Amino acid sequence: MSTPPTTVPGSRLRDEREAAGLSLTEMAKKIRFSKSLLGMVETGRRTASVDLIEAYEHVLGVDMWRKDITHSNLLIVDKASRAALLAGVERGDPGPLRNTPTAHRTDVSLGSVVSGKAAEWFRKWAVEGDTATLRTNSVSVIAKLPGQENADLVVHVLENDPKVRRLIVASEISRLTQLDWTVALQGADDPTTIPDPRKLAPKLAKGAIDPKGTEARWACTYLLSRMVPVLGR
């Protein structure tokens, strides 16, 4: 779970807005601030107020401040590439989702506009996708969708697909520690080998009760339970 900052550069707000595929006009309509004000804030001519930051969070999620995982090849989309990607998904073509892990901002961006037809493909691929990366990416998008049915599917896959579980758990280690991806994978295989476990544990405890992000909450709980031997020393 991320802690929202009280101040933030306007350029960061712009980057997060664009990553979600929203134009300045669309954002202004959603948060009921003027487009001219948003433009001044995003270009650094005005300072972002706490109210404005909270308005962006309301649309983009508090976890917009999450760090990306340390994987060297992440799929990051803008509005145009997101539209092309989702058009392929609706035809049953996952495109780069088959072999390229998604950045958190990509999962949020896809989840914010996914159609019912595309969501059905993601649910199908979460279970039947032909690569572990596709299944993992699908789980991460589904976790951003509302509804108990989607949350239950995420948990089902994590409990029954060891390859997806490994990638999701490694992603949580990587995101919270910024350790090298290979080290994060080793930690997913054996959580007792994660460096500085006492430093990581409080972050996992927060993530385990975060109401958003079913897959992250599950992964944090999973890690904590398996780190008990080293935390008790």
Q: Which tens digit of pLDDT belongs to each residue from 162-177?
A: 999 999 999 999 999 9
The whole-number average pLDDT for the span 66-84 is 88
pLDDT over threshold 90, residue 21: no
The residue whose two tokens read 């948003």 is: 38
For residues 68 and 182, the model is more confident at: 182
141 CB-near residues (< 8 Å, 6+ apart): 102, 107, 110, 111, 114, 122
Q: Supply the pLDDT for residue 63.
A: 65
Tokens of 29: 């309509």
Report residue 15's pLDDT band, with 50, 70 and 90 as the boundaries. confident
pLDDT over threshold 70, residue 60: yes
Question: Is the pTM for the entire model greater than 0.85?
Answer: no
Distances in whole angstroms, Cα of residue 167 to Cα of each of 125, 149, 173, 221: 16, 22, 10, 15
- Whether 60 and 210 have beta carbons less than 8 Å apart is answered as no
Of 81-90, 125-134, 196-205, 207-216, which gets the smallest average pLDDT?
207-216
The whole-number average pLDDT for the span 182-205 is 95
Q: Supply the pLDDT for residue 73.
A: 94
As a whole-number percent, the residues of the chain with pLDDT over 90 amount to 70
Q: Supply the pLDDT for residue 6.
A: 62
pLDDT over threshold 80, residue 3: no
pLDDT over threshold 80, residue 189: yes
